[in-house]
Amino acid sequence: MYYVLYGFLYLLSLLPLRVLYLLSDFAYLVIYHLMGYRKKVVLGNLAIAFPQKTESDRQAIARKFYRNFTDTFIETIKFISASPAFINRHFKTDYTVFEELFAQGKKIQIHTGHNFNWELANLGVALNIPFTFLGVYQPIQNKAVNRIFMQMRSRTGTVLLPANDMRRSILAYRDQQYALGLIADQNPGDTRRGCYWVPFFGRPTPFVSGPENGARIGNIPVVFGHFTKKRRGYYEGHFFLAEADPASLPKGELTRRYIAYLEETITRDPEMWLWSHRRWKHQWKPEYGLLTAPQQDSIS
């Protein structure tokens, strides 16, 4: 199954992007207009995030989101065979912050979100930074699809660590200067512990505590990043040093800063975030603890 699927996708990836975008246009018509894929979830999320906008405005954001969603899927196919030169033409950023931190002998964490096109950003960053680039991924149940994604995501040097075994997997790199890339807007598996409850667009929302906890324990500098779309198929990364000394911060502060940054970037370019996941599916309860603090620091 893997060889058949990979062979088909590899041949498809050899087509020029302008041809592949015809497939994206067709997918948009099917997914948005015919299937209405997760449209209720998308519009519900937009209503929570932007209650001040009109229904017409939110519909317009949703249409742009679905365009980006299908483009990202098709672009990911292209990355199966894309050359380093192609990647660097289509994803540009200033890597100075990475070079400076590497020169200081630091390890770093990079906190980003589900911001289009994170797959291209993974390839571009791994290709250009001096660190060993570690990326955390959620294994896909379908073994053939999982193998294809792992091969695509690692082809410019990213070392993939499974999210369900990250603590053990990262031990092999503890003596190296690494950059650990984390998509930090994940929903936690357990909302009663191991997470921070923080107001996000005005609503209490759980965020995984692992990124902050790891940075504080190892006092690992944290870089925040997001991506913008210059035109179809061309993206720009934006990275800055969010905190050089995480161990000096009170618990919850780094997560609070990240969420404020995430909110700001989403508000500026709302069509660039993954609205089809149920970000507010969990309801905060007083027994979960104080907002902006992890459960273990809650009121006893």
Count Cα neighbours of 66 within 13 Å in the Cβ-side half-sphere: 24
Task: Give pLDDT, residue 167.
Answer: 87
Mean pLDDT by 10 residues, the chain (300 residues): 94 97 97 95 97 97 98 97 98 98 98 96 98 93 94 96 90 96 88 84 91 96 98 98 97 94 97 94 77 45
Question: pLDDT for 239-259, tens place per residue?
Answer: 999 999 999 999 999 999 999
Task: Return the pLDDT at 239.
Answer: 98
What's residue 286's pLDDT? 78
d(CA 275, CA 260): 17
What pLDDT score was predicted for residue 291?
64
- Rounded CA gap, 186 and 189, in Å? 9
Query: In the prediction, which pLDDT does 282 show?
Result: 86
**CA 108, CA 104: separation in Å to the nearest integer?**
11
For residue 285, the model assigns a pLDDT of 80
- Give dist(CA 205, CA 197) in Å, integer: 5
Rounded-to-integer distance, Cα 245 and Cα 191, Å: 27
Is the alpha carbon torsion for 213, 112, 223, 172 positive or negative? Answer: positive
Query: What six digits make up the tokens of 78?
Result: 């292209």
